Structure 1
Amino acid sequence: MFEPVSITEKLMFATARIVGQKANGSVSTGTGFFFGFPGPKGHGRMLVTNKHVVEGVANAQIIVHGFPHQGSSMRPKPTHKLTVNIPANFWVPHPNPKIDLCAVPFGDPPNPENLIPFVTDLNADLIPGPELLTSLSAVEDVLMFGYPNGLWDAVNNFPLARRGITASHPALDFQVDGVPTTALDIAAFPGSSGSPVFIYNGGSVPGKDGSLQIGSRLLFIGVLYSGPVIRADGQIVIRNIPTNAVPVAEISLMMNLGYAIKSREISALVDAVKAVAKD
């Protein structure tokens, strides 16, 4: 296994494929990502996904990279895989019921091999503020990591990367039923729910005034949760990105558009997780 160096290589370790079985026997697949924050006892971490990904799932399972616990100062490398089970009552919902986000505290889970998770934590420094968002153009390149239709690099335990563009201005709230949203021109399939969405420029960063700066830019702008579909009768319907692909009587066509909850909503979720950790 390689040691991540580039920005995109590090992001490959930021997500986890969430799998669980629902009461009706169907298998739910979605995407979760790791988010780090300052905690009362040092660094805190949580796994974030959409509430509808784990709804009705008694026990969710993820597989993360890991490394053996070692007392030396050697730089850890992702040499092992670690399976982690997450009971339903561990998930903490976003305090706003309209926001389709939840999280679970994620530290170093006990395991027979004494492995420590090797993951990349997203953090608040990657979330752009109002001034930075205003400096962006209406159409920006976006990058998304996830598990469309449950597909993944099963041998190496990695997500799939997808590219697209912003379909609404990142500085504006594209309101969907009162949820602060960014619209994306990107293919969003079952299993992509919970995928972190970034504005990413590698090597050079374009300015909306036509300027060009040498360097790279990574901004965490949202979490994919839903998208519009066209029914056979031509009506456009907004639906959560499904967690499983099943045949249905109603014919719906994907529009290759996705809706992402604004990343600023993560802050309230961090507070909710901290509050639970204190209890």
Structure 2
Amino acid sequence: MPFEPFIVQDPPAVIAPAPAAPAWDLTVGMINATVMLDQPLGDGTRTVGAGFLIADQDADGRPRVLLVTARHVLERMPGAEMRVGWRAPTATGGWRFDPAMVAIRAEDGPLWTEHPTQDVAVLEIVAPPTFAAAAIPVGWLADDATFDALGVGPGDELYSLGFPQGLSANRAGFPILRVGKVASWPVAPVDAFPTFLLDFAVFPGNSGGPVFWSPTARRRPDAPPPEHPFIGGVLTQEVEVGGQGLELAVVAHARFVRETIALLP
């Protein structure tokens, strides 16, 4: 029987097996740190996006967990709360979908912090312990020098995680992994080229997901080896011309996530 993805809406009874991989594998690390974000619109439809968790410290050294997504994902949610698709481990070694509502607006306005020019938003969040532990270190966000130093360019593979059309990889609500090739040149410096293109089909529900490199992604044979995996950016939109999708994703550089984090109160 062919595998079919699932539309995750309510906590189901079926339990997906727990993933197993070395802790250093950023691919599995990013999967564990990526969640579905959604909000019903009252007409039988819902807004769906993706977000990922970053571990950081505030100015006083207090550890905090930050949810990163595309700004438009939150802007298109008119309500005061969104549902975050947490996943909880079970006593039998599996996982179950365990979503919870999280505030995104107060009476005086949005609770998130957004980048002034790019489609990036960051929200400090109280995450379940499993997710707080899975948050990706802030140091793995690419900075201005990363793409230059590593010679990232056309044809290099990067991964993306999301929930295309609201689908998840299984009933436990894990994101779907996609791979695409860098379709832009040049991709640096960031001041001149704040976004780049990735060659793969994009759907509603992919927005806000991380775009990243891990050792299983292919690069040119002569490219310098990265010292560690890195998050290259945030997927923000699909390229369309005349209403037709071109199977190209627009990615905002991770530097703008760093800049947005710096704006947090």
The bucket for the TM-score relative to the shorter chain is 0.7 to 0.9
Paired with 2:169 and 2:218, the residues of 1 have a C-alpha distance of 29
Q: Counterpart of 1:63?
A: 85
Correspondence for 2:12 = none
Counterpart contact for 1:184–1:259, Cα < 8 Å: yes
Relative to structure 1, the CA distance from residue 192 to residue 119 in structure 2 (aligned partners, 3 Å threshold; closer, same or farther) is farther
Q: 1:88 aligns with which of 87, 104, 107?
A: 104
Q: Tell me how far 1:53 sits from its aligned partner.
A: 1.1
1:43 matched to 2:63? The reply is: yes
**How far apart, CA to CA, are the structure 2 residues paired with 1:102 and 1:14?**
16
Partner SS for 1:255: strand
Amino acid in structure 1 at the alignment position of 2:166: G
Contact 2:35–2:51 under 8 Å retained in 1: yes
Q: How many angstroms apart in 2 are the aligned matches of 1:182 and 1:203?
A: 18
Alpha-carbon distance between aligned partners in 2 of 1:119 and 1:256, rounded to the nearest angstrom: 34
Q: CA RMSD of the aligned region, Å?
A: 2.9
Which structure 2 segments of 5+ residues have no match?
1-17
1:146-185, aligned counterparts within 5 Å?
A: 146-168=162-184, 169-173=186-190, 180-185=194-199
Q: Could you give the per-residue CA deviations for residues 18-38 of structure 1, whole angstroms, max 9, x where no partner exists?
A: 110236653101001101112
TM-score (norm 2): 0.76
Which residue of 2 is the match for residue 14 of structure 1? 33
Stretches of structure 1 lacking an aligned partner (at least 5 in a row): 69-76, 110-114, 232-251
Deviations 1:225-277 (A, max 9, x none): 1232121xxxxxxxxxxxxxxxxxxxx2110111111101112221333x1xx
Distance 1:108 1:187, change over 3 A: closer
- Mapped to 1, the partners of 2:127 and 2:142 lie a distance apart of 29
Q: TM-score, normalised by structure 1?
A: 0.72
Q: CA deviation at 1:155?
A: 1.6
Change (3 A) 1:268 1:82: same
Question: How far 1:206 moved relative to its partner?
Answer: 4.6
Question: Superposition pairs for residues 130-141 of structure 1, below 5 Å?
Answer: 130-135=144-149, 136-139=151-154, 140-141=156-157
Distance 2:235 2:126 in 1: 24
Measure, in 2, the Cα distance between the counterparts of 1:174 and 1:27. 35
CA distance in 1, matches of 2:170, 2:111: 25
Q: Which has the higher contact order (CA 8 A, sep 6+)?
A: 2
Of residues 92, 116, 120, the one that matches 1:101 is 120
Q: Cα distance, 1:159 vs. partner?
A: 0.4
8 Å CA contact 1:65–1:119 kept in 2: the answer is: no
Structure 2 match to 1:261:
252
Residues 23 and 57 in structure 1, CA contact (< 8 A), matched pair in contact too: no
Shift of 1:195: 0.9
Q: Which residue of 2 aligns with 1:121?
A: 135
Show the counterpart of 1:73: none
Which structure has the bigger radius of gyration? 1
Larger mean Cα displacement after TM superposition, 80-89 or 135-144: 80-89
How far does the alpha carbon of each residue in 1:90-135 deviate from its partner, in whole angstroms, 9 at most, with x for none? Answer: 6313141x322222212246xxxxx754652223321233343213
Report the CA distance shift for 1:118/1:167 in structure 2 as closer, same or farther (over 3 A).
Answer: same
Q: How many residues align?
A: 234
